Amino acid sequence: MYSAMHLCAWTCFSDHVSGNMPIKNYEKILLKIKNSPIFKNTYYNIKDQSKIFHLHRVKMSFRSKPRKRQWAGFFIGGYITVVMSIVGFSGLFESFVQKGPMNTGHETLECKECHLTAPGTFRQQVQASLKYALNVRETKPYLGHLPVKNQVCLDCHDRPEDRHPVFRFIEPRFAKAREKIQPHSCLSCHMEHMGRRVTIEPDYCMHCHAKLSLKKDPLDIAHHTLIEEKKWNTCLRCHDFHGNHIFDTATHTSKMIAEFKVMDYFQGAPSPYSSEKRYEAKKQKE
């Protein structure tokens, strides 16, 4: 193994022997090679102007310092490769890269269920990213995986009779609500890797129902009264947001579900509404 200095010195000597280099600095370059730790028994002979040079490279032993460093690099690299292979194939790698615990009901899902592979090879993805950075490409490419969008959630949670489907909030009348809480995105209320069922505050109804008024109000205290008093914490004590649970809606405030039970449900506890559902979420994507 030659260092840059040794290679440079040896090149200079080769040029010198072939007559392409003046004799200036001849002794200085020779001294560098002669004192090199990787050369031994170096000798030279100058006869008049013939400039004859002989150099013998020593074979490095296993115990030499350069060789020890080389073997240490091989050992460390091999060790890291073996460990990463074991972790990768055993599935432990997923727990290392997760941002947090899976949400309620998603504990058995694998990463690939939601994080779909981006199209193209890694080289193509890098090239597309560079083109996008240089304004040569209009659409933004993705490296590794695609972002998780609504359709990924709806593949398992699509319900024909959902009271608040995400596509409804794309309508112009919900523009202000979109600015505040982004209800048109599943992740605005169900941010993954939080270890919960619902990740938004329970007063979100105020962003769309602030002007609600019912002609024949079935509740003993009118809805508009509760709204005027800003009791937004009472909404979910009577109403299931997506309407998937089968139960009778309370018509009297004394029959409302306790607020702490709703909050526990947000955190992952069993449903306070009912154990019966109209539609069950798919356990695995088809």
SS3 at position 236: helix
% residues pLDDT > 70 (the chain):
71
- Radius of gyration over every alpha carbon of the chain, rounded to an integer in angstroms: 36
> Among candidates 180, 172, 171, which has minimal Cα distance to 205?
180
| Per-residue pLDDT at 207 exceeds 90 | yes
Encoding tokens for residue 215?
């002609």
Could you tell me which of 261, 242, 249 has the C-alpha nearest to residue 219?
249
Q: Are 126 and 134 in contact (CB under 8 A)?
A: no
Which has more confidence, 53 or 275? 275
For the record, the structure tokens of 243 come out as: 């309407």
pLDDT at 77: 85
What is the distance, to the nearest Å, from the Cα of residue 41 to the centroid of all Cα atoms in its chain?
58
Cα 20 to Cα 12, 23, 231: the distances in Å are 9, 10, 94
Residue 34 in contact with residue 42, Cβ under 8 Å? yes
Question: What does the pLDDT average to over 143-158?
Answer: 92
Contact 94, 102 (CB under 8 A): no
User: What confidence tens digit (pLDDT) does each residue in 121-133 have?
Assistant: 988 988 998 999 8
Using alpha carbons only, give the angle 124, 130, 132 rounded to the nearest 5 degrees: 100
DSSP β-ladder status, 52-54 and 43-45: antiparallel
pLDDT of residue 247: 94
Determine the Cα–Cα distance for residues 144 and 120; give it in Å rounded to an integer. Answer: 9
Facing residues of 57 across strands?
Answer: 39
Domain positions in the chain: 4-54, 150-267
Report the candidate in 26, 33, 28 with the shortest Cα–Cα distance to residue 10.
Answer: 33
pLDDT band at residue 218, thresholds of 50, 70 and 90? very high
pTM > 0.85: yes or no: no
Residue 52: its H or E element? strand 52-54
Tens digit of pLDDT for each residue in 14-40?
A: 444 444 444 445 555 555 555 555 444
pLDDT tens digits for range 60-102: 455 566 677 778 888 888 888 877 666 555 454 555 566 789 9
**Candidate from 65-79, 145-159, 209-223 with smallest mean pLDDT:** 65-79
pLDDT, average across residues 168-176: 94
Structure tokens given for 192? 């993954």
| pLDDT at residue 80 in the model | 84
Structure-token pair, residue 8: 């440079």
Residue in this structure with the two tokens 């509404």, named with its chain if needed: 273
